[in-house]
Structure 1
Amino acid sequence: MDIRKIDDNISVAPQIAIEDIAEIARLGFKTLIANRPDGEEYGQPPMSDIQASAEEHGLKWVYLPVASGHITDEDVDAFAPMFQEAEKPALAFCRSGTRCTVLWALSSAREQDPQDLLSAAYRAGYDLTGLIGRMQQQNNQS
């Protein structure tokens, strides 16, 4: 399992396995966020199985599927309040962790400096410099 901490409130990961959930809970995560649509890839565990295990281990479960490479403003609008209200720290996962990081950065840009968000994402291994214009638009809307 490749968990990458972005800040004290959120970490991201590529696709997790059901067997990873006990460790995720042991590490102190409170909320598990799935941003990957069910059936996106052959062999991907069903989200209902991940949800059942997450809840069994005391984690809050959030399922917000987003199409890879097609994150809309509506997706960001849905992620922002969900993340704000989620028990922290949260672990979000998708195929690679990138789409979770993009959702976090775009929604966070409404209240935080986009450059700081780019730096946090970069330290976690995600280069979001191509999103700077969109992040600045989010920042100007706040």
Structure 2
Amino acid sequence: MSELPPMVQLTDAFSAAPHPPTAAMAALAAAGFRTVICNRPDAEVAPGERAADMEAAARAAGLDFAVVEVTHDGIAPETIAAQRRALTELPGPHFGYCRAGFRSSVIWALAQAGERPTDEIMAALARAGFAVPGLKAQLDALAAGR
């Protein structure tokens, strides 16, 4: 069994990390995660690391799996809604991954707008080492629109 990938814990129910190997899925299940959320587009990864490969490994380990691609072109409202659905409809704790964990953390934050206080979301990102002060206004706007 592979070791757990390095990750940041944003809440008791959500952690983010760089793209793990498929072999890490069993370790994630053993650590108590119940759902894996792939935030990395297939165009960024090599064969064997694509979402279908990751999903097969996750399901073999007894994990639920969702794909919510976050590109470098910006995050559309539909992407935020898809992340929110994955976080609410699939069992937690959730493990999200992308290339480095940053996009998974940001899409988590955007999906939490209106569910958690903005200051709490920003504090979780800061504890994880992600300084994104420009995100606060966007979180407030999303929260106001919910």
- The TM-score normalised by the length of structure 1 is 0.92
Q: Give yes or no for contact 1:36–1:95 (8 Å, CA) kept in 2.
A: yes
Superposed CA RMSD in Å reads 1.5
Does 2:95 match 1:91? yes
Identical-residue share of aligned pairs (%): 30
2:59 to 49, 55, 61: 55
Does 2:126 match 1:126? no
CA spacing shift, 1:119–1:44, aligned 2, 3 Å: farther
Q: Give yes or no for contact 1:15–1:93 (8 Å, CA) kept in 2.
A: yes
Aligned residues: 142
CA spacing shift, 1:44–1:97, aligned 2, 3 Å: farther
Q: Deviations over 1:67-102 (max 9, x none)?
A: 125111221122112211120101000011111111
Match of residue 70 from structure 1: 74
User: CA separation in 2, counterparts of 1:43 and 1:96?
Assistant: 18
Structure 2 residue runs without a partner (length 5+)? none
2:38 to 22, 34, 39: 34
Q: Deviations over 1:43-75 (max 9, x none)?
A: 771221111110000000111112125111221
User: CA separation in 1, counterparts of 2:143 and 2:46?
Assistant: 37
User: CA separation in 2, counterparts of 1:69 and 1:115?
Assistant: 26
